[in-house]
Structure 1
Amino acid sequence: MVEAWYMDESPDDPRRPHRLEPGRPVGLEQLRGLGVFYWKIKIFYEEHLHLDDEIRYVLDGSGYFDVRDKEDKWIRISMEKGDMITLPAGIYHRFTLDEKNYVKAMRLFVGEPVWTAYNRPADHFDAREQYMKFLAQMA
Structure 2
Amino acid sequence: MRSYYFDDLPGDQPLPHDSTRPVSEETLTALGVLYTRVPVDAEGRWEDRVNDIATERAYCNHDVMSISKEGLGDEFEATMKMFYEEHLHEDEEIIYILEGSGFFDVREHATDAWVRMHLEAGDMMVLPAGIYHRFTLDMGNKTRTMRLFKDEPKKAHPRGGEADVNPSRVEYLKSFPGITSVA
What is residue 91 of structure 2 aligned with on the other side?
Answer: 52
Q: In 2, distance between residues paired with 1:97 and 1:52?
A: 23
Q: In 2, distance between residues paired with 1:52 and 1:87?
A: 9
Match of 2:173 among 119, 132, 136: 132
What is residue 80 of structure 1 aligned with on the other side?
Answer: 120
Contact 2:92 2:126 in 1 (8 A): yes
Q: Secondary structure at the match of 2:175?
A: helix
Deviation at 1:137, TM superposition (A): 5.5
Contact 2:94 2:126 in 1 (8 A): yes
Write the mapping of 1:11-22 to structure 2, written as runs, cut at 5 A: none
Q: In 2, distance between residues paired with 1:115 and 1:99?
A: 29
Q: Which amino acid aligns with 1:74?
A: W
Unaligned runs of 5+ in 1: 1-39
Deviation at 1:109, TM superposition (A): 1.2
Q: Which structure ranks higher in relative contact order (CA pairs < 8 Å, sequence separation ≥ 6)?
A: 2
Post-superposition CA distance 1:58-86 (Å, at most 9, x none): 01000000000021100000100011000
Q: In 2, distance between residues paired with 1:108 and 1:66?
A: 18
Q: Which runs of 4+ in 1 moved over 4 A?
A: none
Q: In 1, distance between residues paired with 2:119 and 2:154?
A: 21
Point out the structure with the larger helix share. Answer: 2
What is residue 65 of structure 1 aligned with on the other side?
Answer: 104
Q: Aligned residues: percent identity?
A: 51
What is residue 109 of structure 1 aligned with on the other side?
Answer: 149
Greater radius of gyration (CA): 1
- The answer to whether 1:93 aligns with 2:133 is yes
Point out the structure with the larger strand share. Answer: 2
